[in-house]
Amino acid sequence: MRWVLALALVACLAGAADADEPEATTADWLKALRVRGRLAEEFAYRLHDPGDVSKLKTLGWLEGKYTFSESANLRVATRGYYDAVFAATDRYPDNVRSNQEKELEVREAILALSHGDFDVRLGRQQIVWGEALSTFVTDVVNPKDFREFVLPDFTELRIPLYALDAQWRVAKNVTLEGVWTPDTAHNRLPKKGAEFQFQTVEFRFGRHPVVRLPDDEDEFSLSRSEGGMRLSVLRDGWDVSLIYYDQADKSPVIFQRRVPNTPPRPYIITLEPEHPRLHIVGATLAKSFEPVVVRGEIAVSVGKRYETSNPLDADGVVRRDTIDYLIGVDFPLFWDIDAALQLSQKILTGDATNLTKPGVAGQVTSSLALRLTTGFFDNTLNPSVLFVVGLERADFRLSPRLEWVLSGSVTVAIGADIFAGDRRTLYGQFDKNDRVTFTTTWRF
């Protein structure tokens, strides 16, 4: 199935590439080049003991786009950062320092071609599906970088993939999109000892020796390539899309294996991270009832597996197909405040006993998010606040932020990220990681 999809997409690419190319002068070539970027200094101070600087990151983005013609362009973007907090403090172990101190990465390298009703994007890119902000329900294509939890912008969180993305405008306001990628990169998780290290499941195996195997699957594999389709339709203001995506679970699932040992020694337990195949079927919806906007997303993950703490389970893993959905409404409040309220739920199709972990409260895990934003002085002073609460366990995240637009190029923002709740909950696990932040950004 994936190979058929890949061939179809390559055929689209071949068709698109024969676009007419007008002759260009040297001056036109220079005009066709656009360069822009930004430089940011991000500072965070951890409020709880030990109160100390937790981020001192200098981050730069540089992007160039070359437009060959109306139907062909090439875009390359790189991101680099250095976090001086690892030099300034000795609170983090070496494995965290080597993992998070510095990075230079190609974030985009896309050749975009179009011909009539066909568009093709080939290269390293982010492919974003879904209607709602600040959520991943149907944003399933790219893996995510969770080394700073979900606090950075989502374009920073998504890990770009080398992929082929083709779109065909079947009819007016009807678009069919196909995606194929042999790049099977996984989510990046924080190392042990990192500022936002996740709570992990405690395995208890008594006297049995335990061997932890690495998560060493190749990131490129034709046989394990991933792909899917999206059909988007706009009718009478109703913006609906249907999606299907076939992928490996981006987060590892730890399988337990019992390996015989020399008698009378007890058998050995191996813990092996695997990425089971998922078939994700979903839909999104958005509609404006001026001035209110309603959104909804649903994704059913068929083949989703969870680690269980049930000692009687043979491999320590159970299958629970999972439904994730959200409904949200954006509406204006008094004094020009934009409000967005979102309810989301994760529903496991089956018993959730022994499966509880930070992101799973039980068979049903619910959360409610409220975002308020407004602007003063012609939007040069922009306060906002995001409040997300887990409804079953009352853990929450509160993130107020005040952005000051100093000029057309420079912005300054102060903010805070406050977490509360039980240590075993999604936000409560960072109960001691409350922080204040200060960010300056220069765009050019």
- The residue (of 50 and 408) whose beta carbon lies closer to other proteins is 408
Query: Contact at 8 Å (CB) between 345 and 324?
Result: yes
* Structure tokens that stand for 427 in this block: 């936000």
- The residue (of 98 and 409) whose beta carbon lies closer to other proteins is 409
Q: Please report how close the Cβ of residue 336 comes to other proteins at its closest, in angstroms.
A: 7
Residue 81 as a binder of other proteins (CB under 8 A): the answer is: no
Q: Among residue numbers 242 through 261, which ones bind other proteins (CB under 8 A)?
A: none
Choice from 54, 99, 175, 181 touching other proteins (CB under 8 A): 175
Identity (one letter) of the amino acid at 411?
T
Query: Contact at 8 Å (CB) between 123 and 110?
Result: yes
Q: Among residue numbers 25 through 44, which ones bind other proteins (CB under 8 A)?
A: 36
Residue of 241, 315, 305, 252 whose CA lies nearest to 279: 305
Q: Say how far apart CA 56 and CA 85 lie, in whole Å.
A: 5
Residue of 329, 332, 338, 281 whose CA lies nearest to 304: 281
* Structure tokens that stand for 146 in this block: 């969770």
Q: Among residue numbers 366 through 395, which ones bind other proteins (CB under 8 A)?
A: 377-380
Choice from 12, 100, 123, 131 touching other proteins (CB under 8 A): 131
Task: Evaluate the omega torsion of the peptide bond into residue 252 and state whether it is cis, within 30 degrees of 0.
Answer: no
Choice from 68, 82, 154, 205 touching other proteins (CB under 8 A): 154
- The residue (of 239 and 392) whose beta carbon lies closer to other proteins is 239
Residue 52 as a binder of other proteins (CB under 8 A): the answer is: no
Residue 268 as a binder of other proteins (CB under 8 A): the answer is: no
Residue 22 as a binder of other proteins (CB under 8 A): the answer is: no
Residue 3 as a binder of other proteins (CB under 8 A): the answer is: no
Choice from 147, 295, 371, 435 touching other proteins (CB under 8 A): 295
Residue 148 as a binder of other proteins (CB under 8 A): the answer is: no
Choice from 93, 209, 237, 311 touching other proteins (CB under 8 A): 237
Choice from 41, 272, 338, 392 touching other proteins (CB under 8 A): 338
Q: Please report how close the Cβ of residue 14 comes to other proteins at its closest, in angstroms.
A: 18
Q: Please report how close the Cβ of residue 317 comes to other proteins at its closest, in angstroms.
A: 32
Choice from 14, 35, 259, 292 touching other proteins (CB under 8 A): 292
Residue 234 as a binder of other proteins (CB under 8 A): the answer is: yes
Q: Please report how close the Cβ of residue 96 comes to other proteins at its closest, in angstroms.
A: 26
Choice from 158, 250, 304, 393 touching other proteins (CB under 8 A): 158
Q: Please report how close the Cβ of residue 335 comes to other proteins at its closest, in angstroms.
A: 10
Choice from 56, 96, 112, 298 touching other proteins (CB under 8 A): 112
* Structure tokens that stand for 84 in this block: 């001086």
Which residues of the shown chain bind other proteins in the complex (CB under 8 A)? Answer: 36, 70-71, 112, 114, 117, 119, 121, 126, 128-131, 133, 139, 153-155, 158, 167, 169, 173, 175, 177, 232, 234, 237, 239, 286-293, 295, 330, 332, 334, 336, 338, 377-380, 405, 407-411, 441, 443-444
